[in-house]
Structure 1
């Protein structure tokens, strides 16, 4: 189908527009496309009227199905078509066709106008829906943007929090490592300071512990006047620390150290920063530890650690002083009790005593030799458990008690039994071991008794050695009633009897039996003539091979008794 409309006036243009709209509706063109077609055609016709002349609108459908509508505006004069531009458009129908109302005139125009308004209303409704959809999507996009912004803010906050947490964790780890290092240093320093009871050694070790990590120089001043460094008077800050018992700092600027009092720069006495830490005790400071910083100043935590180290050093120094006092008293007491040995025709006695090299150096080992009223000679050697002043005092009491009991006579076993009762009632928590040998002038028989003590060792004139291993009594002082028996052994002239304490023969890694065997070997290897002429030298010669190690945990006591041979 093809229709041609001539357009020369606005009325013709309006009729053309109405006819195109009706034809588009008749061919099932959607309202939106009809409106777009009418709008474009109106604009084109308005332009044609502006240009003037006569124009033709050609409306044509293609094919038999009439699904496409072609609209073409061309000039009416064919000769001018090459000069004037033409307009062409095509719309496709997608709806069912509607019967076209062919009425013309005012009624047709009115109906066409109403139909155009309906199309316009439909277009406006579509536009409104699109605007609502656009607004919805705009709001949704806005909400999304707000969520994205909030998420970015949360991510930034989380990132900052994570960075702060990492920084705090790193700082905490560094602080923990520093604290661990200081604690480890305190533990190691305490072990070094308490490993010795020698006061000079403890003071000498302090600079080695602190220089150069925690101090550039270290001076130790002790308040008893024993300055353990080159002679120099204490600084004013050190004197204040010793008097008040509080750490003092003196420098060009305040130190700001916890627990430390800041003094003016003049308090240093040297023009350089000083940290003066008293060596505290419950009574009064022992002295002052004076330090100069390893750099410009001390770290506050290091200062706290140095104050704690000074406290531990003070404890070690105080223990060393007490040890020296107790050692001097105990050694004086013990050596006062080691009286001269008696001389008896036909019997020679030699003794040796060596204190332990560890601990207080004074124990309960003791020996004695004295005559009884009947002319017999008693030789005794014993060992009180423990070390120190208490053991030395108990040893002296046992020695005095034995001499008192021996005045009334009695055999070695009876004397040990009385000592056992005495010790049990005097010191129930203290024990002792002892062996007593009795020599009678002109009698070749030796009477002896032992209470928990290593057995005597006898060397006969032929050089053979015998361990007197008869069953001994139990230790003295244990909560047990006992009667210690006597034993006898023939001791011909030229024989030597060795009484000793366990410090001579006992070693922790080997026990006591191998040590007794070594003692027998050394005693048997001594020269008989030397035993008769130089018993003291023989006693000394016995100690060296048996005490090859210089470190001893126990005292050593040795008593050699030699019966002179005929003609000696």
Structure 2
């Protein structure tokens, strides 16, 4: 063995046998805590005991070095294990962060999808509500059919065709898709295309022979009994969204209800107008007295009410003219009006002044219909009497135009409404009547406006009546009646019926 300097020990071990075999000596360098001394040329003992003692000393140093090397290796293994665990923790943390990020992205995507679906649902519901309001706002089924395509094109359909079975649309022999015929027969929506649409509540059919390349959604217009028509739509793109298809079916159902109600309303209105016209008889043509009447139903409702006018002769030669108004509208008011008119004619046969006739009508109505009321004004003309006798019961006052163009409102104290639970005797009133005079009897629908009341309307009527030239009233009383209505009714729609009766006492030829 030989020393190599301070802090290290370099040992070389040889044996005779190894040297004879040509093997190199075994060498090792070991760090030492203390500087090693150079043995120099110290000879290695030849005796086994000395050699063993020397080797034993070397082994102790080597054991110490090896022990410290083992401690270092243990420390390295410990740090390696900690590093490995740390790496595994970092990998696990990365995996968790990646999973959390993926879950967050999925949650964001689901939220965006839900928000989009909610927005689309809100948009469809808003459109459905607005479109329903538009369709139900009209009572003309032709107008509803016209508005339906305007609502759907181009957002929900590229084209819309409405086929009403009982409507002559001016296109005789028009062909309809086979799917539309199936929808009409089955009452279920049909989808005709080269590929199935898989739309909710819609049956798939082969493409239409009329236009095979264009899909068609055929939705029936249902009623309580059977479909009244079919709506055929073509998609704005390649195909409808399933939710859009559900909305279109619901909108078509609502449109069908609106069309059905409009048709029923039109039918009932026609009946009501026919009944109303039948109840208003033709005016007589007494000598020396011109008569012109106008009746206009309200622009809302069934166009049937309780307004009426009448004129007839009495046995003594007098002429009774009357304008009345039964409260309310509808068939009941029209029937009551007819009964009052008939009763008045029956009472007038026995004679009697306008006040007496109204008193009898009051008693008649009170006992016949205690919960129904009426107003009326009666004027009596007699060829041998230069006076006008009139009476009113809760009715707007007559307006009299004298031959010189002066206008007077006959607002003497009237009686109360007919039929109220009150015993009353309605008084007569008289006014001188010269040839060329014109009397206007009317109902409140002509002069009353909600925002202004009735008095301004009566004033406008008086001004309009006074604006005519005497020759106009003498030669064209019908034209004068129209001339009175035009300025008074041009400002708004009518919520009430309008009745006007002009009585002109002709002057000398």
The answer to whether 1:509 aligns with 2:451 is yes
* Whole-angstrom distance in 1 between the partners of 2:477 and 2:57: 157
Q: Any unmatched runs of 5+ in structure 2?
A: 14-33, 42-49
The alpha-carbon deviation at position 438 of structure 1 amounts to 2.8
- Aligned with 1:491 (options 412, 424, 432): 432
The answer to whether 1:209 aligns with 2:151 is yes
The answer to whether 1:291 aligns with 2:233 is yes
CA contact (8 A) 1:455 1:469 kept: yes
The number of aligned residues is 484
* Whole-angstrom distance in 1 between the partners of 2:363 and 2:94: 93
* Whole-angstrom distance in 1 between the partners of 2:395 and 2:84: 102
Q: Secondary structure at the match of 1:220?
A: strand
* Whole-angstrom distance in 2 between the partners of 1:264 and 1:289: 18
The alpha-carbon deviation at position 119 of structure 1 amounts to 6.7
CA contact (8 A) 2:272 2:303 kept: no
Q: Any unmatched runs of 5+ in structure 1?
A: 1-9, 21-36, 48-68, 77-104
Q: How does 1:50-129 map to 2 (within 5 A)?
A: 123=68, 128=71
Identify the residue that residue 119 of structure 2 maps to in structure 1: 177
* Whole-angstrom distance in 2 between the partners of 1:385 and 1:143: 97
- Aligned-residue CA RMSD in angstroms? 3.8
Indicate how the Cα distance of structure 1 residues 490 and 315 shifts in structure 2: closer, same or farther if over 3 A, else same.
same
The alpha-carbon deviation at position 515 of structure 1 amounts to 1.4
Q: How does 1:542-553 map to 2 (within 5 A)?
A: 542-549=484-491, 551-553=493-495
1:89-127 deviations in Å (ceiling 9; x for gaps): xxxxxxxxxxxxxxxx99x99999999699769957xx6
Identify the residue that residue 42 of structure 1 maps to in structure 2: 9
* Whole-angstrom distance in 2 between the partners of 1:281 and 1:350: 45
The answer to whether 1:308 aligns with 2:250 is yes
* Whole-angstrom distance in 2 between the partners of 1:376 and 1:292: 72
- Aligned with 1:384 (options 323, 326, 340): 326
* Whole-angstrom distance in 1 between the partners of 2:78 and 2:337: 108
Mean CA deviation greater in 144-153 or 247-256: 144-153
Indicate how the Cα distance of structure 1 residues 263 and 155 shifts in structure 2: closer, same or farther if over 3 A, else same.
same
Indicate how the Cα distance of structure 1 residues 167 and 120 shifts in structure 2: closer, same or farther if over 3 A, else same.
closer
- Aligned with 1:253 (options 195, 211, 214): 195
Q: How does 1:115-514 map to 2 (within 5 A)?
A: 123=68, 128=71, 138=80, 140-224=82-166, 226-227=168-169, 231-265=173-207, 269-271=210-212, 272-420=214-362, 422-423=364-365, 430-477=372-419, 480-483=421-424, 485-493=426-434, 494-514=436-456
Please, what TM-score do these two structures have when normalized by structure 1?
Answer: 0.73
CA contact (8 A) 1:251 1:268 kept: no
1:464-508 deviations in Å (ceiling 9; x for gaps): 222223344444455x33426224131321332211122222233
Indicate how the Cα distance of structure 1 residues 351 and 548 shifts in structure 2: closer, same or farther if over 3 A, else same.
same
